Amino acid sequence: EAKEYFSALEAHKLSYRYDGPEDDVAIDLAFNKKRADDRKGWINSYEEGSLVDHTQHEVSYKDFINKELVLFSKANVVRAIPSVVDGFKPSQRKVLFGCFKRKLKNDVKVAQLVGYVSEHAAYHHGDLVFLEVIS
């Protein structure tokens, strides 16, 4: 799949277009540390399915921020804020799952547990997050 994608890289490239003050406002909303409360509303107002049209080769900064970057922000919230259901973040839940699956009763080295959780908990983005959870 990667070979196919990268063999036609030009077809997948998007250029960013500056459309004026609307783009400035969107950039400020997304990155200004003083606008955290505004970002909460921005994330909550996202409508599912509102995505950048990848058949076009150009996208405004405003559209990119409001249709693509907002998805990253939503995912970041899910990773960073504990669930009201069990009080765990997804990474903590995966470590607990790994411990139950391994039927841990005795002490185990952190590196061994990190490797086991990474292998069995459907997470393929590196071990550092689990190392931080366990330590």
Residue-wise pLDDT tens for the chain (135 aa)? 889 888 988 888 889 999 999 999 999 999 999 999 999 999 999 988 889 988 888 999 999 999 999 999 999 999 899 999 999 999 999 999 999 999 998 999 999 999 999 888 887 777 888 988 888
pLDDT at 5: 84
pLDDT at 135: 84
Phi/psi of residue 60, each to 5°? -75, 155
pLDDT at 63: 95
pLDDT at 100: 94
Burial class (CB within 10 angstroms; exposed 0-12, middle 13-18, buried 19+) of 66: buried
Q: Is 103 left (phi over 0), alpha (psi -120 to 50) or beta?
A: left
pTM: 0.74
pLDDT at 129: 87
